Structure 1
Amino acid sequence: MSVTQNFNQSYRNNYHIKLESHDNRTLNKTKNGHFKAIHNEKEAGRTTYTWAGTDKFIIDHTEVNPDFAGQNVGKKMVLEAVQYARENNLKILPLCPFAKSVFDKTKDIQDLLF
């Protein structure tokens, strides 16, 4: 089990965050999307991205609701983006300072960088 899979499983068990991913390419031909963390119907956080071609995306912003600060919501959303990239053979450029710090600290996801 990778570090990412292990973290995802323990996080889901402890915090019951439901992640919703949204890719605007299929809805309105724009080049952006987001991963949203929801807890008890309240938005816990959001990570936004912009497509850079068909096989790469740029994480440009991560924001966590102050009510969920210190609960690893931001890291969870970045790792959800990593899982999405792995499942779809995509590469990621983390321009968001928070997302970049997650990539810098997590060696087993750095193969997804472009």
Structure 2
Amino acid sequence: MTDVSKASFTIEHESNDTKGRYVVELNGGKAEMTYSKAGDSMIIIDSTEVPDVMRGQKVGFALVAKAVEDVRLSGKKIMPLCPFAKAQFARHSEWHDVLL
């Protein structure tokens, strides 16, 4: 399992009835991964955006990893529609238990 608690930045999570996002503010930029809720059992990762100022710091990876961590705890599943998130799932077979 990936431990995002060792990251050198803080990941904030915001959520409402239909949508949510994970956000990192670092070096004057803001990265975010957004998702939509599909019922009570699944989230759909819509988009992951990381500004150039954060490139190379694994911020995008950390955003997806945090979503995986949270989804595991809640017993939900993830459908990654975002190309970046899809690529991360392809690289990390240890996350396949949460894939829909």
2:57 is matched with 71
* 1:67 partner SS: helix
8 Å contact kept, 1:23–1:32:
yes
TM superposition score normalised by structure 2:
0.92
- Percent identical among aligned pairs is 35
Query: Considering only CA atoms, is the larger Rg found in Structure 1 or Structure 2?
Result: 1
Q: Does 1:34 align with 2:21?
A: yes
CA separation in 2, counterparts of 1:9 and 1:80?
A: 9
> Where does structure 1 lack aligned partners over 5 or more consecutive residues?
26-30
**What residue in structure 1 maps to residue 99 of structure 2?**
113
Q: Gaps spanning 5+ residues in structure 2: where?
A: none
TM-score scaled by length of structure 1: 0.82
Aligned residues: 100
Matches within 5 A, 1:44-63: 44-63=30-49
Aligned twin of 1:21: 13
Q: Per-residue deviation at 1:65? A: 1.5
Q: Is the 8 A contact 1:36 1:43 kept in 2?
A: no
In structure 2, how many angstroms separate the alpha carbons of the residues matched to 1:43 and 1:86?
29
Say what the alpha-carbon RMSD is for the aligned residues.
1.3
| Counterpart check, 1:92 vs 2:78 | yes
Which has a greater percent of helix? Answer: 1
